[in-house]
Structure 1
Amino acid sequence: MENKGILVINPGSTSTKIGVFENEKLVFEKNIHHNGEEIEQLNSIQEQISFRKEIIFKVLEENNYNVSNLAIIMARGGLLKPVVSGVYQVNDLMIHDLTNAPKFHASNLAALIANEIAKTQNIAAYIADPVVVDELSDVARYTGHPEFSRISIFHALNQKAVARKFASTIDKNYEDLNLIITHIGGGITVGAHQKGKVIDVNQGYDGEGPFSPERSGTVPSGDLIKKAFSGKYTEKQMHEMIVGKGGVSAYLGTNNMIEVENRIEAGDNKATEVLEAMCYQIGKTIGSMAVALKGKVDAILVTGGVAHSDFVIAKLKDYTEFIAPISVFPGEDELEALAYNGEMILQNNIEVKTYK
């Protein structure tokens, strides 16, 4: 009997999400939570890989899933060199670049773990639409000074998957549509998708764009320079001010959007104003992406965890629905998106690219 299982791996800083799919159906999924102190005691990437790999094997066994039934392994893409959208087989260069990346991010572990498990079964591991997908137009790269260039780091996997899902609901191909896709989670990215390519997007990883539950977004550059050279803050503290401890968290003391909405319902005017300000900034960014598409926008799609919020969706419709109709795809089912790409590989419906 031909193997048909797809193991999907998506690590976080203190968790590892896995799922097993067969014939486009979920067999089981598990969000494995790790003890923070235990993770901190792992002193190398290799120790992290070994630790998480063994836990994945244990969970597969606990769910009575025979690892020999796997056909391929799909992993979330990490901070690699810029690549075009698509699926890539994990190769030696990818392993080298992820292992030696200048910035550590939990997503860097995914392909490394997948490769280790794949080797035990003599099968292949792949990534799909990593965060470094780069399809920016030439003019979108300009910042205003040659020392700086805009780069593309965004929620590529979820944005591309949602785009294809929306296209299928209207019997169209993603490559035939102009879409503005907004991912609202801990970070926020808004992409201008022109006929299957993201020609512009805010670089949410370092905080560019609208402020989010935990990122400050684009702040006044003059004030930022003054604070950086004031002597009051270390480089780490400045970075945390922009990414991690900024945005809604800085204004309200929490990045929990359910708590924020509860405060709004209880009559907290400050919480109401902050959340509306976030929506206002998202709306302005959506408007700028409409300019990137020269006003030819078929739809605005909203996704990510915060897309569950009725308050946020209502405000975004108020600010931007004049541009194009809005469709909402709440959540960020990256496991499903990776499995979808894996199924296309097994059915030979997608070209597998080489990372180089």
Structure 2
Amino acid sequence: MSNSLVLVINSGSSSLKFALIDTVVGDAVLSGLGECFGLPEANVSWKYNGEKSEYALSEGNHHQLAVDRIVALVEELGLKDDIIAVGHRVVHGGEKFTSTVKLDESVLEEIENLSDLAPLHNPAHVIGMRASMAAFPTLSQYAVFDTAFHQTMPAKAYTGAISRKLYEDYGIRRYGFHGTSHYFVSREAAKMVNKPIEESSFISVHLGNGASVCAIKNGMSVDTSMGFTPLAGLMMGTRCGDLDPSIIEFLLKKGWTQEEVFDELNKKSGLLGVSGLTSDCRGVIEAMENGHEGATLAFELFCYRVAKYVGSYMVALDELDGIIFTAGIGENSQPIRSKILENLKIFGYREDEAANAAARFGNKGIITQPNTPLAMVIPTNEEWVIAKESMALLHA
């Protein structure tokens, strides 16, 4: 194998995802997950050549132990000498980071300083980065930020209708997330409609356990549904999305603690909270088909709120080349896409049922009828974006 592999690492507070990306073709040669960090059952699992394997981690710094296991694994597979860089996903870059940067101690400190904006994610990213830098001391390593793609939003889109002082003192504004996903699928969509990305406009709908909508004008993000944190915007698997902020004050006055309120809004709301059953849309749809009232409401509410956002984001664009569905739900759930398009019928959208059924499980395609406004499904590939961004800086 040629020297064309980039190791992509996404380090969470109790987990670490990784993939070895062949930057010539964009495929993952190796992919895996370290999980249950801090618990006795901590382990690393991976997939290589279609075969799955697992390795139990001993006691200790599980982030470092996981990275050490990845190093040993690529050595065992004879791949280590083909790795030319390491790319790290970082959830929050604030206003400091508007593009991919090479890692050094000053960048690590800046990412740590932004931990107030992403207290669960950024400290975990830094732990994973330090472990990776210790394990691969001769390789250049890069940070790719979820928020960077959205730094092109105009002030009218990112500014909150609050005191200017809150923005100046604390950086309170809309930042947006899922940037690498919205970036990737918009470029793929431009190829599908045979237009340069600089002349293309889309509404990208990233639907997974986390979900967001992005208005993309001439290839650039001009508005997005997630806000200061990933809690805002769409209803999600366990997150509430947009909510009257006075509800927080109301619950605090009722005796709820701050931790209880935000645990409720982040981990017990969304599809899980409304259905009373599950955060998994497959389980919601199955229960709905069996007549479950809560599941039916969760399905209707989820699809309705996505359609409302899509409709509102037409205001941000001069023209619209298409709606893009992506991520786990967006790529695979035919019923949810069908219902969203039905909710958009006033704009002329008409589902092609056969095409919608075919565009699942890794298959992309246009899912609306001929001579009607375009909606399409495009599988996302955030790891490929991180690898490509890392390669671009490496060769700059």
Instruction: Give the aligned partner of residue 90 of structure 1.
Output: 103
AA at the equivalent of 1:35: C
Instruction: Give the aligned partner of residue 104 of structure 1.
Output: 119
Instruction: Give the aligned partner of residue 117 of structure 1.
Output: 132
TM-score calculated relative to the size of structure 2: 0.76
Shift of 1:104: 3.0
Moved more, 139-148 or 234-243: 139-148
Cα distance, 1:39–1:197 mapped onto 2, change above 3 Å: farther
Cα distance, 1:178–1:88 mapped onto 2, change above 3 Å: same
Separation (CA, whole Å) in 2 of partners of 1:155 and 1:223: 27
Q: Secondary structure at the match of 2:8?
A: strand
RMSD: 2.9
Shift of 1:2: 7.0
Separation (CA, whole Å) in 1 of partners of 2:201 and 2:28: 34
Q: Secondary structure at the match of 2:120?
A: coil
Shift of 1:106: 3.9
Separation (CA, whole Å) in 2 of partners of 1:194 and 1:209: 19
Matched, 1:31 2:32: yes
1:94-143, Cα deviation, whole Å (9 max, x unpaired): 21123342343346544653565356352211133423542221112333
Q: Secondary structure at the match of 1:193?
A: strand
* Residue number among 313, 324, 327 corresponding to 1:304 in the alignment: 327
AA at the equivalent of 1:30: S
**Structure 1 alignment gaps of length 5 or more:** none
The answer to whether the Cα contact below 8 Å between 1:73 and 1:114 also exists between their aligned partners in 2 is no
* Residue number among 189, 193, 214 corresponding to 1:191 in the alignment: 214
Matched, 1:176 2:199: yes
TM-score calculated relative to the size of structure 1: 0.84
Cα distance, 1:216–1:271 mapped onto 2, change above 3 Å: same
* Residue number among 341, 349, 352 corresponding to 2:389 in the alignment: 341
Shift of 1:159: 0.8
The answer to whether the Cα contact below 8 Å between 2:210 and 2:236 also exists between their aligned partners in 1 is yes
1:18-64, Cα deviation, whole Å (9 max, x unpaired): 222332253522322423543899xxxx94542332132133234x1
Matched, 1:59 2:59: no
Separation (CA, whole Å) in 1 of partners of 2:28 and 2:157: 42
Cα distance, 1:56–1:108 mapped onto 2, change above 3 Å: farther
Q: Secondary structure at the match of 1:208?
A: coil
Shift of 1:183: 1.0
The answer to whether the Cα contact below 8 Å between 1:8 and 1:20 also exists between their aligned partners in 2 is yes
AA at the equivalent of 2:155: D
Instruction: Give the aligned partner of residue 139 of structure 1.
Output: 156
Cα distance, 1:107–1:256 mapped onto 2, change above 3 Å: farther
1:254-300, Cα deviation, whole Å (9 max, x unpaired): 11222112112222233122111111011111111111225x21111
Separation (CA, whole Å) in 2 of partners of 1:16 and 1:260: 28
Aligned length: 340
Separation (CA, whole Å) in 1 of partners of 2:311 and 2:32: 36
The answer to whether the Cα contact below 8 Å between 2:274 and 2:297 also exists between their aligned partners in 1 is no
Q: Secondary structure at the match of 2:304?
A: helix
Matched, 1:246 2:269: yes
Separation (CA, whole Å) in 2 of partners of 1:84 and 1:319: 37
**Structure 2 alignment gaps of length 5 or more:** 43-59, 349-372
Q: Secondary structure at the match of 2:94?
A: coil
Moved more, 112-121 or 127-136: 112-121
Separation (CA, whole Å) in 1 of partners of 2:123 and 2:147: 10
Identity, in percent, stands at 21
Separation (CA, whole Å) in 2 of partners of 1:175 and 1:159: 15
Separation (CA, whole Å) in 2 of partners of 1:221 and 1:106: 23
1:293-352, Cα deviation, whole Å (9 max, x unpaired): 25x21111111111111111001111236274211124x432233233345456x5xxx6
The answer to whether the Cα contact below 8 Å between 2:215 and 2:317 also exists between their aligned partners in 1 is yes
Separation (CA, whole Å) in 1 of partners of 2:286 and 2:126: 39
Higher relative contact order by CA 8 Å / sep ≥ 6: 1 or 2?
Answer: 1
The answer to whether the Cα contact below 8 Å between 1:76 and 1:107 also exists between their aligned partners in 2 is no
AA at the equivalent of 1:38: L
Cα distance, 1:107–1:31 mapped onto 2, change above 3 Å: farther
Shift of 1:163: 0.9
